[in-house]
Amino acid sequence: MDRALLTQLQQDATQPYTSLGEAVGLSAGAAHERVRKLRERGVIRRTTVEVDPDAVGSAVLAYVMVDSTSWMGDSAQDFAALPEILEAHVIAGSASVQVKVRTATTEQLQDVLRRIYAIDGDQPPAAAGGPWSPPGRSTCAPPDADRARAVGRQVVSLVGGAGQCGLD
């Protein structure tokens, strides 16, 4: 029964307890009581709102790899100070941290990248395999060599886009 309640709440957490109860075969009072107990037990941690990023002017989403010479805990406050960073995760591989960034424009994304890489000990991961090449096309150079050095070729491929390589 609790799983059915959770499923309904995940679809629409604003529905009245009457509708919630009807959907799972409970009265409104019983549904309310079970939801209250789920909150008390910590099964339901919070209720949030899902916002359409395009509607609020934050259409650009990027996952950025950061190689850090310091432990994530040492940079966590610096990452948290950048409101454009939605999440930061310690990862294994060619980079040590992956951050999820949302901005309104690619220019704002570039500004955020500069601020990320200005954090002491953070740098772009080494580019693997040379310059970015779109599928089925020859290799193209990053559009701006200074920007490529500043943010790393892997990120330039995301920021520069196909138009930067002379694609139709």
pLDDT at 4: 94
Amino acid of residue 165: C
Residues in the chain: 168
Rg (the chain; Cα; Å) = 22
pLDDT at 15: 93
Spatial neighbors of 66 by CB under 8 A, at least 6 apart, are 95, 96, 97, 98, 99, 116, 117, 122, 123, 124, 125
Amino acid of residue 33: E
Question: Mapping DSSP to helix (H, G, I), strand (E, B) and coil, where does residue 112 land?
Answer: helix
Gap between the Cα atoms of 122 and 69, Å rounded = 6
Taking Cα atoms as reference points, which of 134, 136, 135 lies closest to residue 165? 134
Helix (H) or strand (E) holding 122: strand 122-123
Does the pTM exceed 0.85? no
Residue 144, both tokens: 């701006």
pLDDT at 124: 62
Question: Mapping DSSP to helix (H, G, I), strand (E, B) and coil, where does residue 103 land?
Answer: strand
Gap between the Cα atoms of 111 and 151, Å rounded = 10
pLDDT at 143: 40
Gap between the Cα atoms of 96 and 93, Å rounded = 7
Centre a 10 Å sphere on the Cβ of residue 81 and count the other Cβ atoms it contains: 10
Question: Tens-digit pLDDT profile for the chain (168 aa)?
Answer: 899 999 999 999 999 999 999 999 999 999 999 999 999 999 999 988 888 888 888 889 999 888 776 665 667 788 888 999 998 888 887 778 888 999 999 999 999 998 988 887 666 655 433 333 334 433 333 344 343 333 333 333 333 333 333 333
pLDDT at 73: 60
pLDDT at 88: 86
Gap between the Cα atoms of 78 and 89, Å rounded = 14
Taking Cα atoms as reference points, which of 107, 96, 95 lies closest to residue 147? 107
